Structure 1
Amino acid sequence: MVLSSPLAAGARTPPPIPAARWSAAGPPVRPLLLWVRTGAARIRLDGGQVLPLKAGEGAWIPADGRTEREVTTEPGTVAFPLWPQASLGAWGPAEPTRFDVPGGWQDWLIQLFNLQVTPFSGLGYAPETIAELLRRPGSRPSAPIGARRDARPEGRVGARREASPEDLLGARRHPGTEDLGAPAMPRAPGARTVAEELMRDPALDLTVEQWAARVLSSARTLRRDFLADTGLTFEQWRLLCRLGAAMEFLAAGYDVDQVAARVGFASRNGLTRAFKGRFGLTPHEFRRELSARPRAGGLTQRAAAARHTDDLIRMMRRTDTPAAPELLPAASTPSHTNDIHVLSWIYRGSGYLDIGDRRYERERGVATWIPAGTEHVTGLRQNSVSLPLGNASTGDLRLSEPLQVRFSPAWDDYLMFCSISARSGLRPDDHDPRHVLDLFAEQVAAQRALSVPMPTDPRARAVAMECLRRIGEPGGTHDVDVPAEIHRAFRDETGMTLGRWRYAARMRVARELLAGGAPPSAVARRTGYAHLPTFSAAFSRFHGLSPRDYQRRESERSR
């Protein structure tokens, strides 16, 4: 269901963007790249060093063991915190560095943030191309990676050593090249969070105990959840993840030493042993063979992001000014199901949401609630950018099919701020995750208010739109400020006086907010009534029942 209208898109104006703050908890494992799109920000480091940033500037903060990184932003600021792969720290500046971000790079940085916090993956070599390569004459079939309880390394009691790739892969081999893609994702929340982090950055070299502390779990629970949900131990799952990323980077042209560092191997020899043990050929042989085969769509998102981040680092070092990426590649998520409702917004270009055999188109400015418990695929077309705006539990929002609403470009900065607050630690002190529910409900209500008869006279229609924009202000647009011919146009074209039309529009908005679960006191404020009794009386006169009775009736109908 799409609620869209060029006029409706401007029916409400965005709220002001408040100040925000973020402080690191514990020693950082990744570099920080902060880019300020609008406004101003400050980064304070250990020792009192402060880096002020204004719009269009970025800062690189290496992961050098500092335990304190505090970012603060002024009101009206949109600043994107980005965490490049841990392995890139070796190539980035060794000291905090401030640099200018050329305009052509800005949308790419916004999409990079999206890729950090969502399960998108890009198009690249087709799986069948990889499979064909690995079935070539003379190659050895891939080794199984299974949850083998007898694969734990032997040693003295109580001693533990790092399992080798051979330990993790197992000694047996079997024919076929199935399961060459990403390993299955665990379902348990803590294990899934760890898996998503490793998919984004396979070089993160934390122990199970350290990962468990980050997701507020125990090492035993984390290990159990990986094994129960994927059939793989944590170490086996991580190895598959790293080898899948290694294929992408090799296909993108990186040499074996670079790939080993980027995916978390201590040396090229370790990568070579694991890669050959899994796929039956060395990384060098894989890259050489693959280079002679046609691509299925360019670099994967991970490989493209790595290439562009390399360019950014060169720019930070001021060795040159690389050209901005000409095209943002298309991307899509694997088919998956969320246990919460997810709100996703198209900032640039277009995309789609596939549920079963039905496709929901997503255009510029459209925000879509994706229902919980529904298997789906979300996609972005070339040169398109999306951002997640927030989540809602099934208790907070009743939703059985996608619900879409359109925001005008005037909302861009505010919606980006919402996305950053929802998916990073940079947020206002009084941040309320439920705010996105109210934001969406208000926009839906404002757009549905256009279902009341609209005048066609241009001047009268402009007054109607102004009434809708100011619907939350006590009094709205006063009749005394409106010329007589506008009043006449309202009577002739809508069958209502302007005052009666404004009343009907307010009641339309009130109905939508009440049906969405907003308390009557909040609905009163949002429709311009200073006191709840005044609103209740007005609502009851218009509908013949009180706001609470109306809300109760709508709730029963939706069951």
Structure 2
Amino acid sequence: MLSTDPPPIPAGHKAARWEAHARDHLMMWVHTGRAHVRLADGERHRVDEGTGIWLPPGPDHEMWTEAGSVAVPVSVPAAAVPDAPDRVVRFAVEDRWRDWLVARYAQGMRRHDGPRTSDLLAVLTAAGPELPRTGAPADDPPAVPRAGAAAAVARELRRQPALDHTLEEWAAATACSPSTLRRQFHHGTGLSFARWRALWRLSVARDHLTAGGTVADAAARAGFAGRQSFARAFRERYGTAPRDYAARVGALAPARPRPRAPAHSSDPPRATGPVRSQGVAGWNELTWIYRGEGRSRVGDASFATRRGDAVWAPAGTEYESLLPAGSIAVPLGDVCADCVHVPEPVKARFPPSWDTYLLHCSVSGNTLLHPTGYHVRHIVGVFDAQLAVERARTVPMPTDVRARAVADGFLRRVGAGDAAHDVPPEVHAAFRRETGMTFASWRHAARMRIARDLLVGGTAPSAVAGQVGYGRVANFSRAFSRFHGTAPREWQAHELEAPAGRGAGGYAAGAPLRAAANSSA
């Protein structure tokens, strides 16, 4: 299904022995969800979102993540950190350190930029007491819905648990009905929306207390209106008052050797530019601007980049990303030129809702922690599909708030077919007034634009039919022929023979990424 919503993140597992671990430390922290580590002696550690684990050099271990989770492992040479802990340490990662850790991970993945690993100890220095093992309900935090509007709502509440929108307001923001959103939450979690949000907030508050935060801060961070209501809900969930829980956690926290604090340990330093990477002959490189903005130069082409941009650099060209302080570029992967032909630099933009999935792609493509059967070439399809949907927005878009939400909702689920759309009369009127088309005609035009771009990208017509919502290829061929005056296969053959045009800004706006005949990309 073609969608501007990211695909679900599958569970991952460390695919092979981490041979370097015998001589290197390993720091792994969980960006989203939950991970597990089992040591050679059978000792097992659960690593929750917003926490991490430090493993000293020694015997190998098992590591895996649950579905929907992203864990970021970083190998740390022992020689670079002589003051590092010599035992397993679990620690909290404050929000202000997350982007800094992503920047350090990205730096370590670049071929020609030696990873600066000595300052990774700053995270342990700033983390506060080592996290103790604490008892909590087995379903804490609660399961997260993985599909539909409920997944988007859950994603936002996991980022900002204090958001206090009603179910009806969330439904309007995600262009679905309240009954559909309510049903998706119950189907995906077994809980009502209100109960799921309450349990998630309590889990956030508990983690904050575990990391050494105050009761007042935990209540405010989790979105509780008052300390009394927070204390009552916390006691019902965990069997103890928040203040007593915080005191018990503080008493249980064992002392641990504190590494020598770098000068900047109180606050993470800002990532700085420029970041340069010399392309390697035979490999196309995909880099994503995770934070900030700057300029990129690929060969002779130069263009502005900002948060969410992903740039393909053709094999053998020099790639340079000029980033000011605070900006971060993350390598998503390298794909061999024999598998995929990238004729010119190509740029597509991913919305913030893709951040977690793209970080998962980077970790999967650059480390041993990835899903079974994962291959970095899959990012080609993700990139092409996003580029096609992005270009579909050149079909006139309504400016009316409700009509724009309906249009964006359709583009997010364009591959779902012609299911009945419960669109109010005033939204139909806004489409006619602001786009010159009925909603049905606008939907058809957007589908045809996406289909055209996928065909130009080399996707087979039979696959395009399903991606734009047609159950039968014959129906798609008829619709495409009526709209464009030629059959999909003929259109594709003609376009693939034509030279790729250069778009504005120094990159090929529609240059296809063509897979080799023997490639499964």
- 1:75-86 superposed matches below 5 A: 75-86=67-78
Aligned to 1:311: 122
| Paired residues of 1:24 and 1:69 also in contact (CA < 8 A) | no
Q: CA deviation at 1:23?
A: 4.2
Task: Give secondary structure in 2 for the equivalent of 1:454.
Answer: coil
Distance across 1 between alignment mates of 2:77 and 2:331: 21
Aligned to 1:100: 92
Q: CA deviation at 1:31?
A: 1.4
Is 1:451 the equivalent of 2:394? yes
Is 1:47 the equivalent of 2:37? no
Question: What per-residue deviation string (whole Å, max 9, x for no partner) do you get for residues 402-437 of structure 1?
Answer: 211111211111111111111111111131322211
- Worse-matched range after superposition: 458-467 or 104-113: 458-467
Task: Give secondary structure in 1 for the equivalent of 2:416.
Answer: coil
- 1:30-429 superposed matches below 5 A: 30-64=24-58, 66=59, 68-88=60-80, 90-119=82-111, 121=113, 199-200=114-115, 302=116, 305-306=117-118, 308-314=119-125, 317=256, 319=258, 322-333=265-276, 335-355=278-298, 358-429=301-372
Q: CA deviation at 1:445?
A: 0.9
| Paired residues of 1:515 and 1:554 also in contact (CA < 8 A) | yes
- Which amino acid in the other structure matches residue 540 of structure 1? S
| Paired residues of 2:279 and 2:285 also in contact (CA < 8 A) | no
Aligned to 1:189: none
Question: What per-residue deviation string (whole Å, max 9, x for no partner) do you get for residues 189-223 of structure 1?
Answer: xxxxxxxxxx55xxxxxxxxxxxxxxxxxxxxxxx
Q: CA deviation at 1:485?
A: 3.1
- Percent of aligned positions that are identical: 40
Aligned residues: 365
Change (3 A) 1:526 1:14: same
- Which amino acid in the other structure matches residue 53 of structure 1? V
Q: CA deviation at 1:327?
A: 2.4
Distance across 2 between alignment mates of 1:416 and 1:79: 9
- Which amino acid in the other structure matches residue 365 of structure 1? G
Change (3 A) 1:548 1:393: farther
- Worse-matched range after superposition: 457-466 or 45-54: 457-466
**Unpaired runs of at least 5, structure 1:** 1-10, 122-198, 201-301
Distance across 1 between alignment mates of 2:316 and 2:385: 25
Distance across 1 between alignment mates of 2:54 and 2:351: 33
- Which amino acid in the other structure matches residue 57 of structure 2? A
Aligned to 1:510: 451
Distance across 1 between alignment mates of 2:395 and 2:18: 55
Task: Give secondary structure in 1 for the equivalent of 2:359.
Answer: helix
Task: Give secondary structure in 2 for the equivalent of 1:84.
Answer: strand
- With the length of structure 2 as denominator, give the TM-score of the two structures: 0.65
Q: CA deviation at 1:311?
A: 2.5
Cα RMSD for the two superposed structures? 2.4
- Which amino acid in the other structure matches residue 71 of structure 1? M
Task: Give the counterpart of 1:472 among 415, 422, 425.
Answer: 415
Q: CA deviation at 1:396?
A: 4.1
Distance across 1 between alignment mates of 2:331 and 2:465: 29
Structure showing greater Rg: 1
| Paired residues of 1:367 and 1:404 also in contact (CA < 8 A) | yes
Question: What per-residue deviation string (whole Å, max 9, x for no partner) do you get for residues 317-348 of structure 1?
Answer: 45388413242232422555543221111111
Change (3 A) 1:452 1:493: same
| Paired residues of 1:63 and 1:89 also in contact (CA < 8 A) | no
Question: What per-residue deviation string (whole Å, max 9, x for no partner) do you get for residues 351-410 of structure 1?
Answer: 322245642221111111112222332232211111111233334444332211111211
Task: Give the counterpart of 1:18 among 10, 24, 28.
Answer: 10
- With the length of structure 1 as denominator, give the TM-score of the two structures: 0.61
**Unpaired runs of at least 5, structure 2:** 131-255, 501-521
Q: CA deviation at 1:17?
A: 1.3
Distance across 1 between alignment mates of 2:305 and 2:104: 20
Change (3 A) 1:455 1:108: closer
